[in-house]
Amino acid sequence: MSNYHIKNLQEYFHLYYKSVRNPELFWEEIAEENFVWRKRWDNVLSWDFTKPEIKWFEGAQLNITENCIDRHLHTRGDKTAIIFEPNNPNDPAEHITYKQLHERVCKFANVLKDKGVQKGDRICIYLPMIPELAVAVLACARIGAIHSVVFAGFSATALATRINDCDAKIVLTSDGSYRGAKTIDLKGIVDEALQDCPGVTKVLVAKRIQSDIHMEAGRDEWLQPLLDSAASNCEVEIMEAEDPLFILYTSGSTGKPKGMLHTTGGYMVYTAYTFKNVFQYRENDVYWCTADIGWITGHSYIVYGPLANGATTLMFEGVPSYPDFGRFWEVVQKHKVNQFYTAPTAIRALAKEGTEHLEKHDLSSLKVLGTVGEPINEEAWHWYNNNVGNSNCPIVDTWWQTETGGILISPIPFSTPTKPTYATLPMLGVQPALMDENGNEIKSNQVEGRLCIKFPWPSVARTIWGNHQRYKDTYFSAFENMYFTGDGALRDEVGYYRITGRVDDVIIVSGHNLGTAPIEDAINEHPAVAESAIVGFPHDVKGNALYGYVILKETGESRDRDNLRKEINQQITDKIGPIAKLDKIQFTVGLPKTRSGKIMRRILRKIASKDTSNLGDTSTLLNPEVVQKIMDDAF
Ligand code: WT7
């Protein structure tokens, strides 16, 4: 276990240099000493970023659920694997032991098998944050089915696109979900989506809100009776290390969502290793990540990483504001949470409420605080540090992406001195590079550039489902022999990294990754709209909010503007989901364009941010006169 647990900065540097000098040897030792393999690998790593093709632990065989569940049964059978904290604080929490998790996963896996699911089949999971979601994910992995979890806040259209893209035949969902004081008709959304998904033959429905829903004869079945009668043991499917584990969709700057494909062996090793070190998890700790399993954060750091370490991981069904803004702290106190991992947008929303809620709760169990999803601003960092951590808990600002599978840049608590707004140093084996506009690597410190990674790490996504060319174009073509992240970053005088934000047309709103193109497409489908352009502008809680510039067709000119604004946002809600709604909509007669017809978003961003003192060179525009017009209308 020597390499597995980093305890001080000296050890970090020692291991980091080892991991860079000989990555194969480094990861081989970690893999060998800390996991259960049915067959050893023939080759630790083969890679070629020009194809691109990356393979870790080729020839090895394993099942990730054997590593996340079965191997703990002797030593941790009665230990709580998952704490489920329901939406309603008056409902009891559920403690699921490793033994119980084993049985539930086996039963679920047997139900899937009984429905004809085989290794390699894609299963779409559209469930709220209830135990069935984690169990369903693990059940798929146990039998080698590829899960594709779709966040249960996405609309019917977004769900249908994702089901069809990976050709899923089975959908796992629930009657509905709770969200604070509201309920959401999930099954109704699924029914609507499935009108456009002829390939789906089976829908299994968990009961959560006891609502009266439509059950399509021959297609829909209640899950619970099937689980009740299923056998409680299910042998694991033996998987190759490079067999697919899951697909998870993420927005791109253009076109339809990208189904990032993650494989089994490397993903397991990397998420387990980073979980242990980034959160400094100790045997009896209670760890809580507030993300939804519908995002990569939940896959890697609610389910797989923690369970591979035999940890106790908390799943929270609710929202930070229900029944009031003290809910997070109530849950921390109630379950004596030791590691708490959330998003800057949540921190900013809570900070707005002052410290009154914090003072009512005992947070002394906390040891490590984490953040993820977007850059954390200095003010939010200090509020988190001073008030939640009592200046006593290191903050791990973890930078990573759906595509990276696991955390790539983060402090190691109690080892790496933290610095507000800095994600600090690369994880073991991770080799970042900053690139200039001409494609050259900037080697010095105190510089800013485009963030790339020079060498493969075990959990990098292997392809985009059904579109390897897009995978190559998006990540491996901007810079030669490098993985391009799409982010800008700054490196300070000691080599610490600070992520400055996206350098492409992706906007991060409340930690959600949104591409401008799909939103514009949704708006343009409105019959009164001729064209639109979306940009981000700073927002004190969401980090960024969306600003839409909309050109109306002649037929739309006479319409009431406020009604149109409502309809446009409804259109976005229907096509994508409420997370993509616009905060501001400005109707305009034109958009600044280059001579090649590209919208100059740089200018639109500045106007949206009320930062028009220096608009840069507008002389190359096709229609420079439109800029003044937009500014006049904006203010
Ligand atoms: C993008 C990836 C990784 C799980 C959640 C988001 C931004 C992520 C940080 C951070 C600054 C961050 C980046 C990245 N991002 N973490 N600690 N500091 N920015 O996953 O939806 O794939 O989004 O989120 O811009 O590229 P995702």
- Could you tell me how far CA 74 lies from the centroid of its own chain? 32
Atom of ligand 1 nearest to the CA of 512: 21
Mean pLDDT on 492-510: 93
Q: How many CA atoms lie within 13 A of 402 on its CB side?
A: 26
**Would you say 458 and 408 are in contact if contact means Cβ atoms under 8 Å apart?**
no
Contact 125, 172 (CB under 8 A): yes
Check pocket membership of 509 for ligand 1, CB cut-off 6 A: no
**Any idea of the CA torsion for 485, 522, 171, 268, to the nearest 10 degrees?**
10
One-letter identity of residue 184: I
CB–CB of 238/38 below 8 Å?
yes
Q: Distance from the CA of 103 to the center of ligand 1, in angstroms? A: 35
The rounded percent of the chain whose pLDDT value lies above 90 is: 88
Q: Is the pLDDT of residue 145 over 70?
A: yes
Q: What is the DSSP letter of 621?
A: B
The C-alpha atoms of residue 208 and residue 176 are separated, in whole angstroms, by 6
Residue 423 CA: nearest ligand 1 atom is 17
Q: Tell me, what's the pLDDT at 554?
A: 83
Ligand 1 centroid to 479 CA: how many Å? 20
Q: DSSP alpha helices (H): ranges in 558-613?
A: 561-575, 601-608
Statement: residue 1 has pLDDT above 70: no
- Is the beta carbon of 401 within 6 A of some atom in ligand 1? yes
How wide is the angle at C-alpha 287 spanned by C-alphas 286 and 290, nearest 5°? 135
| Ligand 1 within 6 A of CB of 297 | yes
> In whole angstroms, what is the distance from residue 167 CA to residue 262 CA?
17
Residue 229's pLDDT is what?
A: 98
Distance 508 CA to ligand 1 centre (A): 8
Task: State pLDDT tens for residues 162-176.
Answer: 999 999 999 999 999
CA-to-CA dists, residue 533 to 21, 528, 587, 599, angstroms: 46, 15, 11, 8
Atom of ligand 1 nearest to the CA of 375: 11
Cα 373 to ligand 1 centroid, rounded to whole Å: 4
d(C-alpha 20, C-alpha 499), whole Å: 22
DSSP string, 371-404: EESSPPPHHHHHHIIIIISTT-S-EEEEB--GGG
Atom number of ligand 1 nearest to Cα 291: 5
**Closest ligand 1 atom to 397 CA:** 17
* Predicted confidence band of residue 2 (pLDDT cuts 50, 70, 90): low
Any atom of ligand 1 within 6 Å of the Cβ of 35: no
> What is the residue-wise DSSP string for 98-151?
HHHHHHHHHHHHHHHHHTT--TT-EEEEE--SSHHHHHHHHHHHHHT-EEEE--
Q: What is the pLDDT of residue 616?
A: 78
**Quick one: angle between helices 23-34 and 9-21, nearest 10?**
110
Instruction: Please state, rounded to an integer, the average pLDDT across all residues of the chain.
Output: 95
* Distance between Cα 346 and ligand 1 center (Å): 15
Whole-number Å distance between alpha carbons of 417 and 216: 57
Residue nearest to atom 2 of ligand 1 (CA): 401
Whole-model pTM? 0.93
Give the separation between CA 321 and CA 521, rounded to whole angstroms.
Answer: 32
Confidence at residue 14, expressed as pLDDT on a 0 to 100 scale: 95
Say whether pLDDT at 449 is over 90.
Answer: yes
Q: 439 pLDDT exceeds 50? A: yes
pLDDT digits (tens, 9 = 90+) for 226-246: 999 999 999 999 999 999 999
**Amino acid identity of 97?**
T
Mean pLDDT of 526-553: 94
CA distances from 295 to 79, 151, 300 (A): 26, 7, 9
Q: Average pLDDT of 279-295? A: 97
- Ligand 1 centre and the CA of 214: distance in Å? 38
* DSSP per position, 440-456: PEE-SSSEEEEEEE-S-
In this structure, the residue with its CA closest to atom 1 of ligand 1 is: 401
Encoded tokens for 176: 């509905």
Return the amino acid letter for 384: Y
- Residue 245: CB atoms within 10 A of its CB come to 26
C-alpha 381/C-alpha 562 separation (Å) is 37
Tokens representing residue 374 in the block: 């977007």
Can the peptide bond before residue 323 be classed as cis, meaning omega within 30 degrees of 0? yes
Please provide the distance, in angstroms rounded to a whole number, between the alpha carbons at the two ends of the chain.
61
Could you give the CA distance from residue 402 to residue 414 in angstroms, rounded to a whole number? Answer: 27
